[in-house]
Amino acid sequence: MPSETIETNSHTLVTIACLSDNYAYLLREKETGVVALIDVPEAAPIKAELNARGWILNQIWLTHHHFDHIDGLPDILADFPAPVYGGAADAHRLPELDVALSDGGSFELGDTQVHVIDVSGHTIGHIAFFAPAAQAAFTADSLMAGGCGRLFEGTPEQMHASFAKMNNWPDDTLICSGHEYTTANIAFALTVDPDNAALQARNNETQSARAAGRFTVPSLMGLERATNPYLRSGDTGLRKELGMPQATDAEVFREVRKRKDNF
Ligand code: ZN
Ligand code: FE
C-alpha cells in the first residue's frame, strides 16, 4: 500500500492509504522521536509503514467512532501497544480509551502541544487535533480537502460552527483529512463557485495528481480558505451564484451542503 511523506523542520508526517479511500497518519517529532498514529482504518498498511521505518507508537489518536477510522485498532495494539486518545463525549462508542479528551483541552506529543477541538457535524463528538508546532491539523471527516463530511448525526448549523473554529488556523496548516474524496468535492465546488480562479486551478492540479497516482491530501489551510465552499459562506461570488446575497453565513453553508447531498 502506498504512503507519502512530508518533512517539516520539526516533524515527519506520513500519510498512509488504507481500505479503498481512507487515510491514516503518522506524526513523528524529530527531536524526541515520539510517534502518534492518527486513526486506524486497517492495521496491515500501518504496520508495514512502522516496520519499514523501525518506529514504535507512543500514542494513538481517534477522531470519531466510524468503523473506517477505528477497526484496525486491536490488531495494531497487539504489535504496537500505545495509549489510545479519543473524545470523552464519544467514549461510549469508541474502543476503550486511555485518555478521554474534551473540547478546548490539550495534551503533548513529546514537546509538541496538541489542541483538541470538537468539530461535531459528521458525527456528534467528532474531534479534530491541531498541533501548531507541527503545522498540522487532523480533521478526518469534518473539514476535508475541498469539502466537508456528510452530516450523519449533526445539523448544518453544527458543522458550520465547527468550520468557524477551524477557520482560525494559519494558512500553512497541513489539513490531514480522512478520505481521498477531493476529485468529487472539487467537481461539486465548481457548480456553486464557478468563477473562482483558485478553484479552477485546484481542479486541474487535483486531476493531474490523481492521474499520476498521487494523494491530494494533506492540503493546506490557505488553499482550503480560497477554494473550499464550506469555508466561503461569506464570499460575494458564491453568494451571487446561489442567489443568497442577504443570507447569513450559516444559511449559505446549509444551502451548499444541501446541494452537495443532491449532487
Ligand atoms: Zn466517518
Ligand atoms: Fe470516514
| Chain-centroid distance, C-alpha 243 | 30
Judged by DSSP in three states, 100 sits in strand
Distance 72 CA to ligand 1 centre (A): 14
Interval 76-122: pLDDT, tens: 999 999 999 999 999 999 999 999 999 999 999 999 999 999 999 99
Q: In this structure, is residue 198 part of a structural domain?
A: no
Alpha-helix runs per DSSP H in the chain: 43-53, 67-70, 73-79, 156-166, 182-192, 197-211, 221-227, 236-242, 249-261
Distance 195 CA to ligand 1 centre (A): 31
How far apart are the C-alpha atoms of 189 and 229, rounded to whole Å?
6
Distance 64 CA to ligand 1 centre (A): 7
Distance 171 CA to ligand 2 centre (A): 24
Q: In this structure, is residue 190 part of a structural domain?
A: no
CATH assignment at residue 39? 3.60.15.10
DSSP output for 179-209 = B--HHHHHHHHHHH-TT-HHHHHHHHHHHHH
Q: In this structure, is residue 230 part of a structural domain?
A: no
Task: Give the closest ligand to the alpha carbon of residue 23.
Answer: 2
**Domains held by the chain: number:** 1
Q: Which three cell numbers stand for residue 13?
A: 508526517
Task: Give the closest ligand to the alpha carbon of residue 122.
Answer: 1
pLDDT score recorded for residue 1: 56
Distance 37 CA to ligand 1 centre (A): 17
| Chain-centroid distance, C-alpha 229 | 16
Interval 17-29: pLDDT, tens: 999 999 999 999 9
Distance 23 CA to ligand 2 centre (A): 9
Distance 184 CA to ligand 2 centre (A): 15
CB-based neighbours (< 5 A) of ligand 2, an ion? 68, 141, 178
pLDDT score recorded for residue 233: 97
Distance 143 CA to ligand 2 centre (A): 12
CA-CA distances (angstroms) from residue 192 to 58, 146, 179, 219, 244?
43, 12, 22, 21, 12
- Contact, 110 vs 29, CB < 8 A? yes
Q: In this structure, is residue 142 part of a structural domain?
A: yes
Distance 179 CA to ligand 2 centre (A): 6
Distance 153 CA to ligand 2 centre (A): 13
% the chain with pLDDT above 70:
100
Q: In this structure, is residue 225 part of a structural domain?
A: no
Q: Which helix (H) or strand (E) holds 25?
A: strand 22-29
Domain interval for residue 109? 3-181+214-220
Distance 125 CA to ligand 2 centre (A): 14
Q: In this structure, is residue 259 part of a structural domain?
A: no
Distance 245 CA to ligand 2 centre (A): 33
Distance 6 CA to ligand 1 centre (A): 24
The pTM for the full model equals: 0.98
CB-based neighbours (< 5 A) of ligand 1, an ion? 66, 141
Q: In this structure, is residue 201 part of a structural domain?
A: no
| Residue 235: DSSP 8-state | -
pLDDT tens for the chain, 263 residues long, are 599 999 999 999 999 999 999 999 999 999 999 999 999 999 999 999 999 999 999 999 999 999 999 999 999 999 999 999 999 999 999 999 999 999 999 999 999 999 999 999 999 999 999 999 999 999 999 999 999 999 999 999 999 999 999 999 999 999 999 999 999 999 999 999 999 999 999 999 999 999 999 999 999 999 999 999 999 999 999 999 999 999 999 999 999 999 999 99
Provide the terminal-to-terminal Cα distance of the chain, rounded to the nearest Å.
Answer: 31
Instruction: Tell me how crowded residue 203 is: count the other CB atoms within 10 A of its CB.
Output: 19
- Contact, 69 vs 81, CB < 8 A? no
Q: In this structure, is residue 235 part of a structural domain?
A: no
Judged by DSSP in three states, 135 sits in coil
For residue 260, give every residue at least 6 positions away whose Cβ sits within 8 Å of its Cβ, in sequence order, or none.
Answer: 147, 188
